[in-house]
Amino acid sequence: MTQPGMPSDRHDGPDTTLEDRDAPDPGVQPGMGHDVAVRTRSQRQLILRRFLQHRLAMVSLVLLLLLVAGSLIGGTLWRYDYAEQLPAFNEPPTWEHPMGIDDIGRDLFAKVLRGAQRSVQVALLVAFLSTTVGTIVGAIAGYYRGIVDSILMRITDLFLVIPSLAVFLLLARIVGGGWFQLALIIAAFFWMPLARIVRAEVLSLREKEYIEAARALGASDLRIIGRHLLPNAIGSIIVNATIVVAVAILTETALSYLGLGIAAPDTSLGLLVSEGQSAFKTRPHLFYWPGFLIITIALTVNFVGDGLRDAFDPRQKRVRQ
């Protein structure tokens, strides 16, 4: 112990290194008299950490990425084209043709790759368009309220009461069997549920103290909506977008199954299911492969959406395992 008037053993003179100054005093227990270093993480790091801890979402994401990548680029890498006619007919699966050959001599694996590509394109475009429109309509209606809210919600209600399946059937027959036109038709009737969800979220958030503070500081309406309101509704938006992807694939499957979706010579998973139903008992591989892919894509998208919701939602208390 150093007595008054005697030089201290520890000094900060020229010979003292940074390690000497930062070294803990041997006589002081950890946590006594010293500041505890706390590692802070950004919001982006917290979101990524929560998502990585969601095991089911991570497994589903890997599987979904493989399916999407295979559907988008697999057709260009595979040795056969989906429209190429081979000399063999009605062949079962072999090493040369993993999913067999259909009744007109086309490689089924190439057709499934092409069908998955079209179905994924339709689903992603529908999700993007419907999520964008629904978010904008709901945010404007919830923030401005009054006459703006009344007009937008009456339009939303009008679209909700229209029998969408009948409109799908009518418009699909009019515009033809292109995948882009089909995606536009489906997206036109998929934005309404999200608009009502976002409106409810914004109505509950617009009276919060931090929104009042932003108004007092002179923030514009666009900044308040985009910077303060929508980020707090991101969980609901993401969950709805993932649901739309799955439902869009199923809707495209139903329309193509009825002959009103993507038409030949192009193909889709729904069209392949429709073509394979006649050989369900004798050649089930023509039916099972596209059907299995539809179910797998829909399930993985929903699991990924569940993980993203837990990661983005700031009110989430725990990460689902």
Q: What percent of the chain has pLDDT over 90?
A: 18
**Can you read off the two tokens belonging to residue 271?**
């069209």
Q: Which two tokens stand for residue 165?
A: 């399946």
- Read off the tokens for 250: 């199923």
Number of domains in the chain: 1
pLDDT-derived band at 242, boundaries 50, 70, 90? confident
Task: Tell me if 1 is assigned to some domain.
Answer: no
Q: Is 70 exceeded by the pLDDT of residue 320?
A: no
We report the CATH number of the domain holding residue 185 as: 1.10.3720.10
Residue at 46: amino acid letter: L
67 domain residue, yes or no: yes
Q: What DSSP designation does 252 have? A: H
Q: Which two tokens stand for residue 238?
A: 């993401």
Q: CA 32, CA 218: separation in Å to the nearest integer?
A: 45
User: Quick check: 238 pLDDT over 50?
Assistant: yes
Q: Is residue 215 included in any domain, yes or no?
A: yes
Residues 201 and 233 sit within 8 Å (Cβ to Cβ) = yes
Containing structural domain, residue 257: 44-87+106-312
* Domain assignment of residue 294, yes or no: yes
What is the mean predicted confidence (pLDDT) over 184-192? 91
pLDDT digits (tens, 9 = 90+) for 6-32: 444 444 444 444 344 444 444 444 544
Let me know if residue 134 belongs to a domain.
yes
pTM recorded for the entire structure:
0.77
Residue 247, domain member (yes or no)? yes
Contact 179, 249 (CB under 8 A): no
The highest-confidence range among 51-55, 72-76, 262-266, by mean pLDDT, is: 51-55
The verdict on residue 5 lying in a domain is no
Per-residue pLDDT tens over the stretch 199-221: 999 998 888 888 888 888 888 88
